[in-house]
Amino acid sequence: MLGFAIGVPFAILRVYGGRLSRFLVDIYVWVYRSIPLIVLLFLYYWGIFPIIFGVKLSAMATSILALGTRDGAYQSMIFRAALESIDPGQMLAARSLGMGKWEAVRRIILPQALRIAIPGWTNQYAIMLKDSSICFALGVLEILTRTRYVTISIGSYFIPYLVAGLLFIALTYGGTKVFNIIYEKVQIPGLIGGK
């Protein structure tokens, strides 16, 4: 959700904003897509928040912020592509009806782009789910950390990691099915597959 809250406005600013906003969004996306997640986790946990802001966040809060801000960069690219795929005639038609630019984006362009972005978000969901396992580096009790504890207590590796793998498959499959249901329900007339 944090990635969505960052990605959508940044994509809108990148496509419809001025030169400065496009430049700032491009810098954000470039930086967050360039830094490996493990480095970002360590920067947030031991550097940016305690040194710059004077706040020591919990490992869970740091993980949520790192995953969310990084995901925002990727989601902004997904949504940017969706916005740019909308026929420019849609904006011209809305403006000819007397809508302002931002009203046209909100009422005409945005609903269409949201549907177009769903397949990309489905892939990003699966990637973020698997990336969350890196948060074990900060001691967050996620699936792999708990699996490690089980392997230590029972003295076996195969079954616990097999169960962890199956759990990741189930979560990925379940999330993908939810996105597919949303995609099928949100049909827009005039688009491919629209009713």
Quick check: is 190 in a domain? no
Domain extent at residue 20: 2-185
pTM tops 0.85: no
Residue type, 108: I
**pLDDT value of residue 188:** 54
Report the alpha-carbon distance of residue 165 to residue 159 in Å, rounded.
Answer: 10
Average pLDDT over residues 135-154: 84
The answer to whether residue 192 sits within a structural domain is no
Q: Cα–Cα–Cα angle for 135, 43, 19, nearest 5°?
A: 110
Residue 195 banded pLDDT, cuts 50, 70, 90: very low
Is 33 part of a structural domain of the chain? yes
Note whether residue 171 is domain-resident.
yes
Query: Does residue 52 form part of some domain?
Result: yes
pLDDT value of position 194 = 45
Q: Write the CATH number for 123.
A: 1.10.3720.10
Q: Where are the alpha helices (DSSP H) in the chain?
A: 2-16, 19-34, 37-43, 59-85, 88-96, 101-104, 110-131, 143-154, 158-185
Q: Count up the domains in the chain and report the number.
A: 1
Between CA 93 and CA 53 the distance in angstroms is 47
Q: Is residue 35 part of a domain?
A: yes
Report if residue 135 sits inside a domain.
yes
Q: Is residue 194 part of a domain?
A: no
